[in-house]
Amino acid sequence: MTESGDTTPRTASRRHVLAGSAAVGAAAVATGLTGPLAAATPARGGATGAGRPITGDPFTLGVASGEPDQHSVVLWTRLATDPLAEGGFGGMGSRHVEVHWELALDERFRNIVRRGHERTGPDHGFAVHAEVAGLLSGWEYFYRFRVGRHVSATGRTRTAPPIGAFGAGLAMSFASCSQFEHGWFTAYRHLAADEPDLVLHLGDYMYEYKPQVYISPDGNVRDHAGPETETLANYRQRYAQYRSDLDLQAAHAVAPWLVVPDDHEVDNNWAGDIYEKPHIPQPDFIQRRANAFRAYYENMPLRRRSKPSGSEIQLYRKVSWGSLANFHMLDTRQHRDDQACGDGWKVCEDAADPARSLTGDEQEAWLLRNFRESRARWDILGQQVFFAQRLSATGARSMDGWDGYQGSRERVTEGWIDAGVRNPVVLTGDVHTHWANELKENYADPDSRCVGTELVTTSISSGGNGKDSDPSTDPNLRRNPHIKFFNQQRGYVRTRITRNELRADFRVLDRVTEPGAPARTRASFVVADRNPGLTEVDPA
């Protein structure tokens, strides 16, 4: 197992126990903690699977929850006694295992409201997806798993408020791009300490490269296990390595997640059925894509409706948080046309071809229909690649983002305008830097009205430490006046959403090449109800 080495003292209060609940086993005994964290310590003796005892801790990959609606949530775990074992089965062999779960109203499990069990084995990568229904809306719950005498860490989850209710507001954080070799996942630990109600992960949860191929400017601090991920066993092993990180486990345990993959969960800058260019030919790319999707489903708290069928997976979906917000989670890889002009940053006429699509026709129609039917206060797109226009010094644009699919961007933007969407907000990952953008009706006219807002999160670790920058002198902002903030440090974005405003705090760390760095808020912006655009406020 790996961890980011955060040695900051913590109390055993409810939230802090949950934020650190990934640290199971001997760590709980050594620190003298009590409550659910200590209860997660595996007992002596083994559970039986196919007649053979499980002698090690099967919960080394932690727990997670996701996909909350008004009355249900998905609970997840994946069994592995030896996470990096070759073959991708985490040392579990060929056995089949009965995994029991409990859901309670309190972290000490004195008031258990649901119990159940799931059977898993090698055909499922030893993953468990329990869809627990019949729950109270807008409620906090605690959950854990058991195999024989082995008990997992405790996780906290919650259901969405009922439609018609706004509640007291929503604390939502979002993140992307965690490259295991480039740095420690300390930002995930800080995200957990913020105690969000909901977490969005917008892609590049893991990276496919073999060790020491993708080198950070600051040098790599740890190594990938195994070769470049192509087979199902490769992908399973790589996810197990990432999932073993205790800071990532803490972020999963603190709140339910909504997830979408980007490119590195499969292959860098892939598009539809086309692999990265230029690249060594991949005659079996469709099979590789199928392997990647299967492993992604096994390792994420997704509903059964997202279980892949061969090389296809259903990822775009809408999740409502009462009447406060609709989250439209998009898939910008599987259904897109190939990047124009061979990808990269180009001045490319083909990028303006209105027939080109980033979402595909079916997903685009689904999204526009969602806009027309929405009655939510905020309509939020959880997606992967840069949405606003972004011009380089030479006038080039990124062919991999929405700039390379300008017709798609125009149709989506016109769709929310025509539907009268009250507050459209786009959330983005991918680019390893923080940005805050005002979305324009016509980017060619600097005085064109603002019709939406884009918040872009930097990476958790990808790209190494990065560096701070002064927005007042940044050439990106001078060339693109609708861009209001840019920063190259690592971190995540923390938001607070109420019926009156959305506040975004851009959280940064000065370094990720050493574990345990502190986090701070580099800048904060507010989007007011019915007033698209950004107002900078004092950092929290």
Q: What is the pLDDT of residues 337-348, one digit of tens each?
A: 999 999 999 999
Question: Cα–Cα distance between 161 and 527 in angstroms, integer?
Answer: 22
Question: Cα–Cα distance between 253 and 154 in angstroms, integer?
Answer: 7
DSSP E strands: which ranges in 185-314?
198-201, 257-259
Distances (CA, A) of 539 to 176, 504, 507: 22, 9, 10
* Arithmetic mean of pLDDT over the chain: 91
Q: What is the mean pLDDT of residues 371-386?
A: 98
Confidence at residue 197, expressed as pLDDT on a 0 to 100 scale: 98
Confidence at residue 470, expressed as pLDDT on a 0 to 100 scale: 86
pLDDT tens-digit profile of 281-293? Answer: 888 999 999 999 9
**In this model, does residue 6 exceed pLDDT 70?**
no
Q: What is the mean pLDDT of residues 289-311?
A: 98
More confident residue, 22 or 74: 74
Query: Residue 86: enclosing H or E segment and its boundaries?
Result: none
**In this model, does residue 534 exceed pLDDT 50?**
yes
Q: What is the mean pLDDT of residues 360-370?
A: 98
The amino acid at 221: V
**In this model, does residue 18 exceed pLDDT 80?**
no
The two three-digit tokens of residue 351, written as one number: 């990028």
Confidence at residue 51, expressed as pLDDT on a 0 to 100 scale: 52
* Global confidence as pTM: 0.92
The dihedral formed by the CA atoms of 414, 420, 423 and 427, expressed in degrees to the nearest 10: -30
Q: What is the CATH T-level fold of the domain 163-537, as seen in this structure?
A: Purple Acid Phosphatase; chain A, domain 2 (3.60.21)
Buried b (16+ CB within 10 A) or exposed e, 78-93: bbbbebbbeebbbbbb
Which residues neighbour 240 within 8 Å (Cβ) at sequence distance 6 or greater? 61, 78, 80, 83, 84, 88, 90
Burial tier of 283 (Cβ tally within 10 Å: 0-12, 13-18, 19+) = exposed
The amino acid at 254: V
**In this model, does residue 229 exceed pLDDT 80?**
yes
**In this model, does residue 36 exceed pLDDT 70?**
no
Confidence at residue 55, expressed as pLDDT on a 0 to 100 scale: 86
Question: Cα–Cα distance between 6 and 22 in angstroms, integer?
Answer: 13
